């Protein structure tokens, strides 16, 4: 099985040199004047779109395939463009390999971060027009247009309009032995590829826990109610810490792989890369004097 995620680009990263030289101990204690919106794109401060939108887009894969750092075997950056040495590439491909999980075979996950528009991956023998849902046909999953959720062009605002889909309309594609399934937005939308398969599909009865109001109204309000319900002693949040912490652990490890060529082998027991000790500088932070965290 193969999963492919792709994401439209955020604003271009600032490519000018930081106001303070990185190799100066004195200047490292001085605020660096990076553009506020783009802070996530600098190695010193963020994890780029891997930790920004990756955590949303790959959520369905994390749940459905029981992905966990316990089963992560390797990460490799197989493609990247060149940028200044202090920012993440504008375009890259990450390859995560997982061993077999309970009842599931090994799986490979690809993260595509590209700025070309459209889809980074289309199933073999299928056009993006074939892959799209047939308007007005097939079951509705997630909020309908105008109810909330995220759609390209909406800016994430509830009720905001959205431009027509570029490409298939999916940003995460599961490739299995019997066909293809796609999700869109933050996982709100689901469909089978090609579109005629979804038009004929009948949904099973729901059995997973839902956030209050999800799928029938704005997901923006639903995830807030989900959190409040958990705080008041109700059902655990759908992305409780025991899910989100381990998910973030394997996903953001991909940020380290961007710095190196070749495959990085992961040792979960030691919490480090076994094949490249130098890569472990990105696994745990190094704190400046006076800024250490006391546990």
Q: Indicate the pLDDT class of residue 61, thresholds 50, 70 and 90.
A: very high
Q: Say yes or no to pLDDT of 12 above 50.
A: no
pLDDT for the residue numbered 30: 52
Q: What are phi and psi of 3, to 5 degrees?
A: -115, 135
Q: Specify the CATH number for 2-282; select among 3.40.50, 3.30.360, 1.25.40, 3.30.70.
A: 3.30.360
Whole-number percent of the chain with pLDDT over 70: 75
Residues 6+ apart with CB under 8 A from 164: none
Asked if residue 46 lies in contact with residue 91, where contact means CB atoms within 8 angstroms, the answer is: no
Asked if residue 28 lies in contact with residue 288, where contact means CB atoms within 8 angstroms, the answer is: yes
Average pLDDT over residues 173-190: 88
Distance from C-alpha of 274 to C-alpha of 268, rounded to nearest angstrom = 10
Hey, where are the domains in the chain?
2-282
As a three-state string, the secondary structure of 202-229 is CCCCCCCCCCCCCCCCCHHHHHHHHHHH
pLDDT for the residue numbered 113: 81
Q: What are phi and psi of 64, to 5 degrees?
A: -65, -35
What is the per-residue pLDDT across 64-117, written as a single tens digit (0 to 9) for each? Answer: 999 999 999 999 999 988 777 788 888 889 999 999 999 999 999 999 887 666
Q: Say yes or no to pLDDT of 5 above 60.
A: no
Distance from C-alpha of 65 to C-alpha of 72, rounded to nearest angstrom = 12
Q: Which of 35-44, 65-74, 89-98, 176-185 has the lowest mean pLDDT?
A: 35-44
pLDDT for the residue numbered 18: 45
Distance from C-alpha of 260 to C-alpha of 240, rounded to nearest angstrom = 32
Q: Which residue has the higher pLDDT, 82 or 205?
A: 205
Average pLDDT over residues 216-225: 74
DSSP label at residue 276: -
Q: Say yes or no to pLDDT of 158 above 70.
A: no
Q: Which residue has the higher pLDDT, 129 or 43?
A: 129
Buried b (16+ CB within 10 A) or exposed e, 26-41: eeeeeebebeeebebb
pLDDT for the residue numbered 23: 43
The total number of residues written for the chain in this structure: 295
Q: Indicate the pLDDT class of residue 47, thresholds 50, 70 and 90.
A: confident
As a three-state string, the secondary structure of 74-91 is EEEEEEECCCCCCECCCC
Distance from C-alpha of 267 to C-alpha of 198, rounded to nearest angstrom = 40
As a three-state string, the secondary structure of 132-178 is CCCCCCCCCCCCCCCCCCCCCCCCCCCCCCCCCCCCCCCCEEEEECC
């Amino acid at each position: 099985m193969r999963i492919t995620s792709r994401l439209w680009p955020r604003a271009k990263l600032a490519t000018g040199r930081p106001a303070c030289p990185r190799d100066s101990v004195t200047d490292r204690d001085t605020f660096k004047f990076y553009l506020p919106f783009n802070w996530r794109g600098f190695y010193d401060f963020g994890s780029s779109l891997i930790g920004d939108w990756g955590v949303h887009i790959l959520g369905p894969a994390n749940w459905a395939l029981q992905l966990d750092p316990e089963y992560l075997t390797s990460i490799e950056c197989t493609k990247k463009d060149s940028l200044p040495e202090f920012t993440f590439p504008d375009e890259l491909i990450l390859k995560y390999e997982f061993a077999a999980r309970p009842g599931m075979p090994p799986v490979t996950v690809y993260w595509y971060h590209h700025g070309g528009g459209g889809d980074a991956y289309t199933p073999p023998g299928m056009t993006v027009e074939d892959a799209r849902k047939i308007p007005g046909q097939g079951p509705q999953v997630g909020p309908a247009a105008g109810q909330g959720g995220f759609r390209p062009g909406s800016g994430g605002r509830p009720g905001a309009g959205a431009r027509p889909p570029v490409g298939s309309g999916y940003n995460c594609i599961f490739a299995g032995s019997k066909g293809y399934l796609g999700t869109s937005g933050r996982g709100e939308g689901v469909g089978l590829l090609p579109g005629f398969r979804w038009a004929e599909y009948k949904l099973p009865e729901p059995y997973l826990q839902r956030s209050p109001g999800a799928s029938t109204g704005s997901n923006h309000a639903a995830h807030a109610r989900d959190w409040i319900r958990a705080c008041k002693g109700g059902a655990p949040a759908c992305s409780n810490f025991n899910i989100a912490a381990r998910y973030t652990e394997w996903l953001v490890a991909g940020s380290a792989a961007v710095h190196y060529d070749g495959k990085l082998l992961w040792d979960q027991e030691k919490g480090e890369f076994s094949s490249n000790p130098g890569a472990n500088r990105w696994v745990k932070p190094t704190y400046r004097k006076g800024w250490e965290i006391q546990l």
